[in-house]
Amino acid sequence: MKPKIVLFTSLGALLSLFGCDYVDDRLTIRNDSSLNIYVAVMSDTVLSLGENDTFMFEDKFVPRFSKKKLLLMGKGGNRAWEYLPGDTLRNELHVFILLEETVRMYKPNEIIDKNLFAKRIDVSINDLNDSNWQISFENK
């Protein structure tokens, strides 16, 4: 009987540890273009790599004529996207659209140094709420 108690106690402790991490999946990128894209979301108006040396993340890849939910776990739990801008002046997220061919042809530092992103979309949290947390990209 004791092994069952230990097992259930351990299982309960694990569930309480991992069960509290919520993921904010509200932000959706709609790629209405004929090109495959990668997306980088920043709290700053300057594109950066952060802790990784690439923009090629499968969870940030949005094929042409499709949409993808971007996930963010962190401060705020299921409202993490609202906390990302922090105390910035305009409380905005800055969404950088990078064309797949650019990401494949150039090194990440070249993309940053030469501003080789296709578009930067600045959007406030209020605008995101109004648009049901959806951002669209079209190539013209």
- pLDDT-derived band of residue 49, with 50, 70 and 90 as boundaries? confident
Q: Which of 40, 45, 33, 27 is nearest to 98 (CA)?
A: 40
Tokens of 125: 């949290």
Whether residue 82 is contained in a domain is answered as yes
Whether residue 1 is contained in a domain is answered as no
pLDDT the model gives residue 52: 72
C-alpha distances (whole Å) from 34 to each of 47, 65, 66, 120 are 23, 6, 10, 18
Over residues 81-110, mean pLDDT: 87
Whether residue 3 is contained in a domain is answered as no
Whether residue 104 is contained in a domain is answered as yes
Measured CA to CA, the distance from residue 133 to residue 140 in angstroms comes to 23
pLDDT the model gives residue 6: 47
Whether residue 11 is contained in a domain is answered as no
Q: Which of 69, 74, 85 is nearest to 127 (CA)?
A: 85
Q: What is the CB neighbour count within 10 angstroms for residue 53?
A: 9
Whether residue 124 is contained in a domain is answered as yes
Q: Bigger pLDDT: 90 or 32?
A: 32
Whether residue 83 is contained in a domain is answered as yes
Number of domains composing the chain: 1
Has residue 75 got a pLDDT over 60?
yes
Measured CA to CA, the distance from residue 109 to residue 77 in angstroms comes to 31
Q: What is the domain range of residue 69?
A: 21-137
Q: Could you tell me the sign of the dihedral formed by the alpha carbons of 74, 131, 57, 67, in that order?
A: positive
Whether residue 5 is contained in a domain is answered as no
We report the CATH number of the domain holding residue 132 as: 2.60.40
Q: Provide the whole-model pTM.
A: 0.81
